[in-house]
Amino acid sequence: MIRPSEAFRLIHINWILLQHGLDEVILALHFFRPLRFILYLNPWYWIRHKKLPPYPVRIRRALEELGPIFVKFGQILSTRRDLLPEQISNELARLQDAVPPFPGKQARQIVEQAFGRPVEELLDEFDETPLASASIAQVHTARLKNGRKVVVKVLRPGIEKIIRRDVGLLFLIAGLANRYWSEARRLRPLEVVEDYKKTILDELDLHREAANAAQLRRNWEGSELLYVPEIFWDLTRKNVLVMERITGTPVGEVEALKAQGISMRQLGERGVEIFFTQVFRDNFFHADMHPGNIFVEPDGRYIAVDFGIVGSLTQADQRYLAENLLAFFNRDYFRVAELHVESGWVPRNTRVDEFESAIRSVCEPIFNKPLSEISFGHFLVHLFQTARRFHMEIQPQLVLLQKTLLYIEGLGRQLYPQLDLWTTAKPYLERWMEEQVGPKAFSRKLRKNLPKIAEHAADMPLLLHKLLKDAAEHRLELQWKSEELQQLRKQLQQANSNNIWAVSGSAMLISGALLLTLGPSILLPASVVTGAGIGLGSAGGLLVIRALLRT
């Protein structure tokens, strides 16, 4: 049931869509389709559409007018290049997250309410003029009682209520699209909105952001490549975050960086190294590394800010990703296809040779170009689009990784256009793989598991004695628990119960006579009864029995 506030918001959204010439979006809905012919017969419609900017531009402008939540959604949607046409993705990437600030006095009140005392008791100075303003929060400069310069990040007042309302509307729109839009099955709008909901609600908790920053700071303590500002936990709450104030040049100001004598090639290569180190060494990466969140010190060291979105991978995903990248570098497409199947990213019944052929068709044209012209990020996009034909499931953690990689490569090429991400990354990945499978990896895992081994070592002789004794006395039992077997058992029990109540005594007598006369072949075809390897102990037997039960 749509509430009145939601209904008014929907009307407002539709009005903005009409203003920006996106009436085809509205008329694509099932219950508006009968009205399309009225619009199409109107000469004004055709004259107006000839004067309108391209379709992707209209989408971007409509999102900007709809407000900060839709801008944020458009930014995240722009990273789903595996789902959207390239022209729309490129246009959505231009969305700016700058919005008008809210009053500084209101920010002061939020800080005082969060701590229950005046700002003067907490800080020596607090500048009410915002340093920066975004859709979720805004930042003010301040000074601690001990003289240290800090920034105070304050959530926008009432932002959670606004976000939850607009996210609810996005779910409503996505639900309608899922029901009436022919492309919904491929683009999966409900899953896109669900991903967005999780991401943006996480950003509303500044405690979480502070914890992310603290973890990254520990990972890069003393590094010459990346600096992460210090968090002041005593002055941090869910809606207020106090962090060390940094000084540096925004990474997008290339001319200013060159004027400081900073090597653009070194800066680009360091960015690549930072990314792969976060992903593979630390398994904890900054997933919002756009130019607005990156600064550079005079010595060329990066500074990162805004830690609301971070990502991590499972050890299995880490391993598969590294092996995939190395296989691409070596043009071993069969191994790439195998890894996709082994990892479960594509269904197990996928034909590896067909998948290999599809991957080769994407990779070979790229490899035939000079390395300086290869876009690694767009290569991944085309690969995901190809994999989608083979029902490859979108992995949320890999979407964040893809988004970050596109940011890093775009930033690197802006700093140093000749940057070759592949050549820079390959030696790092090779070293990492050697550490994972070589003697060092064995030694590391042994040291890690040594306490568990020592804990159970004393019990091993007794367990071994019991095992041998049970084997000698023929008391060993093999216990196999399977969800499929449990389900099969329940189905058989249910079927048996139904038969007892549904079939009369005479019918049971007839069935018994048939079974005695004809044997088991009345239930199963001869090829199944006599076939080798068919039984409860094999996956093939389970599939045959389940298929027969469905008939």
CA 311 from centre of chain: 8
pLDDT band per the 50, 70, 90 thresholds, residue 215: very high
User: Each residue of 423-450: pLDDT tens digit?
Assistant: 777 788 788 777 776 666 667 667 777 7
pLDDT at 36: 56
pLDDT band per the 50, 70, 90 thresholds, residue 278: very high
Buried b (16+ CB within 10 A) or exposed e, 307-334: bbbbbbbeeebbbbbbbbbbbbeeeebe
Q: Of 438, 440, 350, 430, whose CA–CA distance to 388 is shortest?
A: 350
For 450-510, where are the E strands, in sequence order?
none
Lowest mean pLDDT among 55-64, 399-408, 523-532: 523-532
pLDDT at 187: 62
| Beta strands 137-143; 149-155: pairing state | antiparallel
CA angle 435, 436, 440 (to 5 degrees): 50
Lowest mean pLDDT among 189-193, 313-317, 390-394: 390-394
pLDDT at 358 over 80: yes
Tokens 């005695």: give the residue.
Answer: 516
User: Each residue of 152-161: pLDDT tens digit?
Assistant: 999 999 888 8
Q: Of 216, 207, 212, whose CA–CA distance to 242 is shortest?
A: 207
pLDDT band per the 50, 70, 90 thresholds, residue 120: very high
- The one-letter code for the residue type at 311 is G
pLDDT at 126 over 90: yes
Mean pLDDT highest for which of 137-151, 301-315, 386-400, 422-436? 137-151
pLDDT band per the 50, 70, 90 thresholds, residue 220: very high
Percent of residues, the chain, with pLDDT higher than 70: 68
Mean pLDDT in residue range 216-221: 96
DSSP notation for 430-492: HHHHHHHHSHHHHHHHHHHHHHHHHHHHTTHHHHHHHHHHHHHTT--------HHHHHHHHHH
The answer to whether the beta carbons of residues 212 and 310 sit under 8 Å apart is yes
The encoded tokens of residue 116 equal 């229950």
pLDDT at 174 over 70: yes
The encoded tokens of residue 226 equal 């990346």
- CA 220/CA 301 separation, integer angstroms: 12
pLDDT at 228: 96
pLDDT at 490: 64
Q: What are the φ and ψ backbone dihedral angles of 258, each rounded to 5 degrees?
A: -65, -40
Q: Give the torsion sign (CA, 105, 108, 114, 116).
A: negative
Domain residue limits, the chain: 4-96+161-201, 313-440
Mean pLDDT in residue range 6-17: 74
Mean pLDDT in residue range 347-364: 85
pLDDT at 102 over 80: yes
pLDDT at 409: 72
The residue that leads in pLDDT, 13 or 369, is 13
pLDDT at 295: 95
pLDDT band per the 50, 70, 90 thresholds, residue 400: confident
The encoded tokens of residue 16 equal 């903005």
pLDDT at 235: 95
DSSP state of 399: H
pLDDT at 507: 43
Mean pLDDT in residue range 105-131: 94
10 Å CB burial of residue 270 (0-12, 13-18, 19+) is buried
pLDDT band per the 50, 70, 90 thresholds, residue 397: low
| Beta strands 302-304; 226-227: pairing state | parallel
- CA 426/CA 372 separation, integer angstroms: 15
pLDDT at 544: 35
The encoded tokens of residue 41 equal 């017969």
pLDDT at 533: 36
pLDDT at 488: 59
pLDDT at 451: 76
Please identify every residue annotated as catalytic.
288
pLDDT band per the 50, 70, 90 thresholds, residue 369: low
User: Each residue of 404-413: pLDDT tens digit?
Assistant: 777 777 777 7
pLDDT at 270 over 80: yes
pLDDT at 360 over 80: yes
Mean pLDDT highest for which of 107-116, 168-177, 374-383? 107-116
pLDDT at 1 over 60: no
User: Each residue of 319-342: pLDDT tens digit?
Assistant: 888 888 888 778 888 988 888 888
pLDDT at 238 over 70: yes
Mean pLDDT highest for which of 107-111, 309-313, 508-512? 107-111
The residue that leads in pLDDT, 434 or 227, is 227
- The one-letter code for the residue type at 429 is L
The residue that leads in pLDDT, 45 or 115, is 115
Average pLDDT, the chain: 75
- CA 378/CA 148 separation, integer angstroms: 43
